[in-house]
Amino acid sequence: MSKIGIKDIASQSGVSSATVSRTLRSPELVSEDTRKRVLEAIKATGYKPNRFGASLRTQKSGNVVVVMPDITNQVNAGIIRAIESEAHKAGYCVLLGDTQNQEEREQHYADMVTSGQADGILIFTPNLPFSLKTDKPISEQLPPLVNSCEEIANDDIYKVVIDNKAGARTAVQHLLDLGHTCIAAVMGPKDTPSTLDRLAGYKQALTEANIEINRNLIIRGDYRTESGIEAMEKLLRLRHRPTAVFCFSDDMAIGAMNTLREYDYRIPQDISVIGFDDISYSKLMYPKLTTIRQPLEDIGRNCMRVLLEQLRGNKPAQKITELPFELVVRQSTGPVPR
């Protein structure tokens, strides 16, 4: 590998390293003549300024870190892609932090901001990996930061959200409208804000319809397919089987549908299934999955924009950017049997 430095370019084009730097950073300060000469030398050698030298001097890294529990997940993948695209446009690079649900790794990635390796951070987990002192305003203690998907319990943080409770309520209402009264819920991971909100929405919709909440119909999951499979198996064993199942994620709904097919249930004639997310595979399932759509690309794009705003030294207009969800009715839900 080459190790051409700014000095090489300087001597090759007969100017000082200051002028080389200016040619790159503020070309308008350099005479056309010199500029040309310098640019030529740069091109000939393939010189790329060493980012560390520059960063050390400017105290800016040009990076942002993304902290996510699992990028394999289609929801997260969709979001990160929009982030990357938006970051790239603004000249930032994305450092990928897949935490695999380990706190230690979360901390590790947060430290990249503390150590100056990234200028800002996007957090998709419910924990704030920075220690706060109570005697100072929080905004002064935190780096540029945006939180999404799993809300951190702190009102001073910039967030991009959807209304999970209303989304869940809409899902259940859709089922109620179809005549279902025995509606199961397959939850996400214990105590995650998104699951808590969706559960609240589920309960609210039932309560409003004067239907009693039945604990047996509420199953714990973890948003992944496998847990949807298991949850459905449990539900099928119940004496009073549900006629409809609201899964808090599409992945779990997909798992649930697999179980139903396995035991020869017809969807939706025997049992309706509705998901949450609208990942790209949902419309490709058999039957096509009815779900609550999260605007993944928009979430990613907005996260990055709010972060960029902070990175530029501005205060974003609002702490919370709320994006709309949407009920997408497809084929996996239908009228209650009989």
Binding residues for its own copies (CB under 8 A)? 1-2, 46, 48-53, 55-56, 61, 63, 70-72, 74, 77-78, 80-81, 84-85, 88, 93-96, 98, 100, 105, 108, 111-117, 131, 141-143, 225, 254-255, 257-258, 261, 280-281, 284-286
21 touches DNA by CB under 7 A: yes
Least gap, CB of 196 to its own copies (angstroms): 27
Tokens of 313: 């030294």
Residue number, 20 or 87, with CB nearest to DNA? 20
Contact status, residue 319 vs residue 157, Cβ threshold 8 Å: yes
Among its own copies, DNA, none, the one that 242 touches (CB under a kind-dependent 5 to 8 A) is none
17 touches DNA by CB under 7 A: yes
Number of residues that bind DNA (CB under 7 A): 34
Contact status, residue 259 vs residue 229, Cβ threshold 8 Å: yes
CA angle 150, 152, 156 (to 5 degrees): 135
**Which amino acid, residue 263?**
Y
C-alpha Rg value of the chain to the nearest Å: 26
How far apart CA 68 and CA 76 sit, in angstroms, is: 7
Residue number, 106 or 150, with CB nearest to its own copies? 106
Three-state DSSP class for residue 338: coil
25 touches DNA by CB under 7 A: yes
Tokens of 166: 């209303």
24 touches DNA by CB under 7 A: yes
Least gap, CB of 282 to its own copies (angstroms): 10
Contact status, residue 259 vs residue 245, Cβ threshold 8 Å: no
Q: Phi and psi (nearest 5°) for 320? A: -120, 125
User: Can you give the binding site for DNA, defined by CB under 7 A?
Assistant: 3, 5-7, 14-22, 24-26, 28-31, 33-35, 47-50, 52-54, 56-59
